[in-house]
Amino acid sequence: MLPPPAMSAQYGHGHHESVLRSHSRRTAQNSCAYFSSSLKSNMHILDVGCGPGTITLDLAKLVPDGHVTGIEPPSADPSVLQTARNDAAKQGISNITYSVADVLALDFPDASFDVVHAHQVLQHLRDPVQALREMVRVTKPGGLVAARDLDNKTMIWFPESEGIERWHASYEPLARSNGTEPNAGRHLLSWALQAGVKREQIVASASSWCFSTPEDVVWWSSSWVERILSSRFAEVTLERGVLKQQDLDFMVQGWREWGAQPDAWFAVLHGEILCKV
């Protein structure tokens, strides 16, 4: 059995190459549209749980006279930030710093940043409200806290696939066994209120990811095949008894078959909050 959950959960998916590759498709354009028009060129941004840093890099390009700090927690594999640093250097982006920090206890003074952002992070924390309190604390008065998380229950796809259904159904018990909220998207507004942000300071919205072009479908299905076969998903679900090996094989087959269909289509809704501090 895995050890009992600590307050700062180890990131549930782990940082296997297959996981990082799937995060690397994320850009400011496909993931930050709800606040990117509020950015000014000289702003200082904190990108919490930046992962491989593709969104972080885009944010740095949007604030050429400002700065972006990307953080990953002490439990993360150091290669994640190293990859992010190498990518920034390759692209010649110098207004970016990556460092190790835990969003639940940030090592930054109050009012340090104009914008504090977390993409697909709060869903992986056991105490997302404390994370939001810390995000608000390090934001300057008049600054913005932005968070976006998917909502597992809102995933829909075509054609029907029993393998994908089994994969989908397995995520909720897995997240709950880790003490985290799989349907985080719908909780964001409530969590911000619990963190002490006033209702009139918050704009709550929703947006989707949709995989429908032949390239996106092949990428999305093959990234799940790889993640099921090689990432912490398999290890943890087997160890916790959430799944058996034959379930994993069935899911892989489901994703492969679905990814080969000319009419394959997949969508998921995300919740978003933009809080004016």
Ligand X SMILES: C[S@@+](CC[C@H](N)C(=O)[O-])C[C@H]1O[C@@H](n2cnc3c(N)ncnc32)[C@H](O)[C@@H]1O
Closer to ligand X by Cβ: residue 43 or 121? 121
| Residue that has been written with the tokens 């990428």 in this structure | 219
Q: Map tokens 């890099």 to a residue.
A: 57
Which H or E run includes 153? none
Q: For ligand X, which is the closer residue by CB, 134 or 247? A: 134
For residue 12, what are the CA distances in angstroms to 102, 119, 147, 211? 15, 15, 19, 23
CB of 274 to ligand X, least distance (A): 16
Contact between 147 and ligand X per CB under 6 A: no
Q: Is 112 exposed, middle or buried (0-12, 13-18, 19+ CB in 10 A)?
A: middle
Which residue, 87 or 257, is less far from ligand X as judged by CB?
A: 87
18 binds ligand X (CB under 6 A): no
The reply on whether position 22 binds ligand X by CB under 6 A is: no
Q: Does 268 bind ligand X (CB under 6 A)?
A: no
For residues 181 and 127, give the distance between their C-alpha atoms in angstroms, rounded to a whole number: 10
Kindly state whether residue 102 participates in binding ligand X, applying the rule CB under 6 A. yes
Among 58, 72, 149, 151, binds ligand X (CB under 6 A): 72
Residue 126, Cβ density class (10 Å: 0-12 exposed, 13-18 middle, ≥19 buried): middle
Distance between CA 8 and CA 105 in Å, rounded? 10
Of 49, 163, 254, 259, the one binding ligand X (CB under 6 A) is: 49
DSSP-derived letter for residue 164 is H
**Is residue 71 a contact point for ligand X (CB under 6 A)?**
yes
Cα(171)–Cα(119) distance, integer angstroms: 19
The residue within the footprint of ligand X, chosen from 104, 129, 202, 218 (CB under 6 A), is: 104
Q: Which residues pair with 267 in a beta bridge?
A: 156, 210
Point out which span in 50-58, 60-68, 213-221, 223-231 binds ligand X (CB under 6 A). Answer: 50-58
Cβ-based nearer residue to ligand X, 70 or 143:
70
Binding mask 112-131 for ligand X (x = CB under 6 A): -------xxx--xx------
Quote the CA–CA distance of 93 and 209 in Å, as a whole number: 27
Give the position of tokens 């919490």. Answer: 48
16 binds ligand X (CB under 6 A): no
| Contact residue for ligand X among 43, 45, 55, 84 (CB under 6 A) | 55
Q: Does the footprint of ligand X cover residue 228 (CB under 6 A)? A: no
**Distance of alpha carbon 221 from alpha carbon 270, whole angstroms:** 19
* Nearest CB to ligand X, comparing residues 71 and 275: 71
Q: Which stretch binds ligand X (CB under 6 A): 98-106, 156-164, 200-208, 268-276?
A: 98-106
From CA 117, how far away is CA 51, in angstroms rounded? 13
Q: Give min distance, CB of 245 to ligand X, in A.
A: 25
Provide the pairing of β-strand 113-119 with 44-48.
parallel
Binding site for ligand X (CB under 6 A): 8, 11, 23, 26, 48-51, 55, 71-73, 76, 102-104, 119-121, 124-125
